[in-house]
């Protein structure tokens, strides 16, 4: 297993520690959750950079990297719903899109086709990660109104990019659906 794929696995291992820090109340738990989330999110950039610069792109990485991102962000969004920082319907739309794209990727894989993340999909992931960071920050520092405002604006930016990029995946991969 190459280094980028090990970093992707590391991101998945971070998830239960992040969720525990979000869910278990102890001194500075939100700060610890934020740090874990930021490290895990940065690992997404890092593994992609290493894979491209060293020509270590694999089918495993093309499939597992987006899956690790989905698991990390879905876990965070669910925790944010539980802490009343996000509305459930928004998270349902986001997670439904993730399931739909994973289904499309699985269908494509059954035909030997690997669907890599597109630019809008990557922008969606970045916007979701920024949203999560801002919302955790606003919970950790509730007296800073600007964090709350930016976090809530980013919720809708992330939602829009989630929907638009989901549509793009299906439009660009109609051949996968039509061939089945």
pLDDT number for residue 180: 60
Give how far the C-alpha of residue 24 lies from the chain's centroid of Cα atoms, to the nearest Å.
Answer: 22
The structure tokens 């606003």 sit at: 138
Q: Are 119 and 161 in contact (CB under 8 A)?
A: no
Distance separating alpha carbons of residues 52 and 73, to the nearest angstrom: 23
Give the tens place of pLDDT for each residue, 130-164: 999 999 999 999 999 999 999 999 999 999 999 99
Contacts of 27 (CB under 8 A, 6+ apart): none
pLDDT number for residue 66: 82
* Strand boundaries in 49-167, DSSP class E: none
Q: Which of 41, 47, 46 is nearest to 5 (CA)?
A: 47
Q: Are 132 and 138 in contact (CB under 8 A)?
A: no
Tens-digit pLDDT string for the chain (180 aa): 999 999 999 999 999 999 999 999 999 999 999 999 999 999 999 999 999 999 999 888 887 888 898 899 999 999 999 999 999 999 999 999 999 998 898 888 888 887 877 899 889 989 999 999 999 999 999 999 999 999 999 999 999 999 999 999 999 988 887 766
DSSP labels for 55-78? T---HHHHHHHHHHHHHHHHHHHH
Domains of the chain (ranges; CATH) run: 3-178 (1.20.120.1760)
Q: Which of 87, 89, 85, 84 is nearest to 148 (CA)?
A: 85
Distance separating alpha carbons of residues 72 and 89, to the nearest angstrom: 19
Q: Which of 67, 59, 60 is nearest to 99 (CA)?
A: 67
pLDDT number for residue 67: 87
pLDDT number for residue 164: 97
Contacts of 9 (CB under 8 A, 6+ apart): 1, 64, 68
Beta-carbon count within 10 A of 110 CB: 10
């Amino acid at each position: 297993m190459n280094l980028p794929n090990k970093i992707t696995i590391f991101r998945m291992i971070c998830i239960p520690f992040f969720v525990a820090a979000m869910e278990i109340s102890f001194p500075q738990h939100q700060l610890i959750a934020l740090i874990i989330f930021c490290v895990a999110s940065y690992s997404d950039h890092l593994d992609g950079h290493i894979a491209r610069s060293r020509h270590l792109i694999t089918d495993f990485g093309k499939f597992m990297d987006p899956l690790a991102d989905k698991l990390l962000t879905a876990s965070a969004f669910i925790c944010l719903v539980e802490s009343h920082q996000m509305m459930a319907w928004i998270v349902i739309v986001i997670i439904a899109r993730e399931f739909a794209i994973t289904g499309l990727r699985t269908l494509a894989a059954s035909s030997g086709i690997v669907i890599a993340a597109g630019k809008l999909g990557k922008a969606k992931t970045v916007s979701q990660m920024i949203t999560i960071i801002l919302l955790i920050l606003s919970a950790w520092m509730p007296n800073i109104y600007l964090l709350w405002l930016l976090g809530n604006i980013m919720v809708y930016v992330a939602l829009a990019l989630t929907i638009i990029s989901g549509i793009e995946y299906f439009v660009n991969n109609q051949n996968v659906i039509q061939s089945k």
